[in-house]
Structure 1
Amino acid sequence: MLTRIEVVADPVRDRCVLTTGLLSPRRLPAPNGIVRIALVAAGALLLAGDHVRIEVKVEGAVRVEIIETAGTVAYAMRGGSSSWDVDLTLTAGAHLTWHGEPFVVSADAEVTRSTSLTLDADCELAHRESLVLGRHGETGGRLSTVLRAVVGGELVLAEDLDLSAQARRGWAILGSARCLDTVTTLGFRLPDDDQTLQLEAVGSIARRLVADHHESDLGKVWANNIWG
């Protein structure tokens, strides 16, 4: 089911149209020039057969903040599967932050996630994605992810990850870690350090591989470097 967020900058009052799917977007109070939207589960998520699709379109010189009110758990699916797809488009100077909460893939869950990011060259985006393979004491189920980012009509980032139990144990994927925590920026860069990849286009990827989500320091990286 489709969840849709449409925001258009307006000199009097920014226009915002929200459509509820498996997630319900709700506008929150915010200062002038900022549209703050919470994503709230409209029912139990994530179960076998659930197909979450989120479309976000922002046009004009407005800052949008998307807030997840809680983490998401993909439960055991007994041979079934589910999907979580995000399609985000920013045009005409739009700015957006999306601070994702932990996405937990329980044992015997099978999930595919896709993220499509399309920005005009004068737009800015900051996105945090925290993937956790298994609840406490679990190995965790199967997760595959696809990310594509296009800025100013040019493909600037493409990443496909197979996070099935056997594949993710490789030293180049997760090794012994259980959590893959990532902050991605497009249109501006995070400060240089030995754990941040600077993209050829204007943008950065800060990533942490940790045993538990609370061990990641990306919350501090976000607080110190992301406007909002």
Structure 2
Amino acid sequence: MSRPAPAQVSVANRQGTAQVTRLATSTFVRPRVLGVRGDRVSVALVAACATLLAGDDLRLEIDVGPDSCLELIEPSGTVAYDCRGGRAHWSAVIRVAEGGRLLWPAAPFVVSHGADVHRSTQIELAPGGTVLMRETLVLGRSGEVGGSLRASLSATAGGAPLLVEDLDLTDDRRRSAPGVLGTARVLATVALLGAAPSETAHPHETLLAGPGALRRAVTQHAHDAEAALDPTWERWRQAQPGA
């Protein structure tokens, strides 16, 4: 059985002005241009239907051309619903060319009770390409323990590994152990990849071995995690060219 076609967003720089070169709708996502300002394009990832259900395979392909900037906006979060014995998949492949920039303050990704979802993010950065992104993983809606989640991220910079993670939260007993999540149900991350901040202003901001940095928050509620990460996000965003 073939995989469904991905939603695709590609942008380029044409003589100092951003241009959308590809905007493809999938079964699950309808990209919509919100505006163009100089070398920056803002695109909304609008849900085309209720997702994620058992058997769903939501795929995104993002290409940022040389010296261009793409900002992705999610008007609403993604909810993985009870799969009733099935499984859902979510994946994103991101390619950023030399001098390109991607800003993605992603909305919360909620794993409902009974859900079984695999999430994968692959990022390829050319020299001088950067990604600044937020990710908020929420186990369960209000009053729920939350379903099964396996989330992986692989990022390369100039062909060399920059960040490789494999988060296994498929067993609710193990993930509640001390040193994993404990009693928390939200894991939020701000990641700057392809460039390092001039300084770390918070003890939870961690420099990577290569060009990049992370900050994470583990909380009981999504709004608390996002509030904790807001200062880091704003500081790193303001440091981006053209901010």
In structure 2, stretches of 5+ residues that fail to align are none
2:36 aligns with 30
* TM-score, normalisation: structure 2: 0.90
Give the distance between the partners of 2:120 and 2:140, measured in 1 at CA. 19
Matched AA of 1:7: V
2:8 aligns with 4
Give the distance between the partners of 2:163 and 2:234, measured in 1 at CA. 24
Pick from 18, 21, 30: which aligns with 1:14? 18
2:217 aligns with 208
1:124 aligns with 130
> What is the CA distance between 1:220 and its match in structure 2?
3.0
> What is the CA distance between 1:44 and its match in structure 2?
1.0
Pairs within 5 Å for 1:1-228: 1=4, 2-11=6-15, 13-16=17-20, 17-21=22-26, 22-164=28-170, 165-190=172-197, 191-192=199-200, 193-216=202-225, 217-227=228-238, 228=243
Matched AA of 2:223: H
Give the distance between the partners of 1:221 and 1:7, measured in 2 at CA. 27
In structure 1, stretches of 5+ residues that fail to align are none
Q: Is the 8 A contact 2:16 2:38 kept in 1?
A: no
Give the distance between the partners of 2:69 and 2:41, measured in 1 at CA. 6
Matched AA of 1:118: E
> What is the CA distance between 1:224 and its match in structure 2?
2.9
Q: Is the 8 A contact 2:18 2:37 kept in 1?
A: no
1:225 counterpart SS class: helix
Q: Is the 8 A contact 2:162 2:211 kept in 1?
A: no
Give the distance between the partners of 2:64 and 2:192, measured in 1 at CA. 16
1:14 counterpart SS class: strand
After superposition, the C-alpha distances for 1:28-81 in whole angstroms (9 at most, x for unaligned) are 123211111000001111111110010001111111101111111111111011
Give the distance between the partners of 2:92 and 2:177, measured in 1 at CA. 27
Give the distance between the partners of 2:213 and 2:235, measured in 1 at CA. 15
> What is the CA distance between 1:13 and its match in structure 2?
4.2
For the aligned residues, what is the CA RMSD? 1.3
Percent identity of equivalent pairs: 37
* TM-score, normalisation: structure 1: 0.96
1:143 counterpart SS class: strand
Give the distance between the partners of 1:80 and 1:39, measured in 2 at CA. 25
Give the distance between the partners of 1:61 and 1:129, measured in 2 at CA. 25
Matched AA of 1:130: T
Give the distance between the partners of 1:220 and 1:24, measured in 2 at CA. 30
After superposition, the C-alpha distances for 1:110-147 in whole angstroms (9 at most, x for unaligned) are 00000001001211110100000000110000000111
> What is the CA distance between 1:179 and its match in structure 2?
0.2
Relative to structure 2, which stretch is displaced further, 180-189 or 203-212?
180-189
> What is the CA distance between 1:12 and its match in structure 2?
6.2
Aligned length: 228
Give the distance between the partners of 1:109 and 1:182, measured in 2 at CA. 22
Shift in alpha-carbon separation, 1:128–1:118, aligned structure 2, 3 A: same
After superposition, the C-alpha distances for 1:162-195 in whole angstroms (9 at most, x for unaligned) are 1121231122221111000001111223441211
2:233 counterpart SS class: helix
1:226 counterpart SS class: helix
Matched AA of 1:155: P
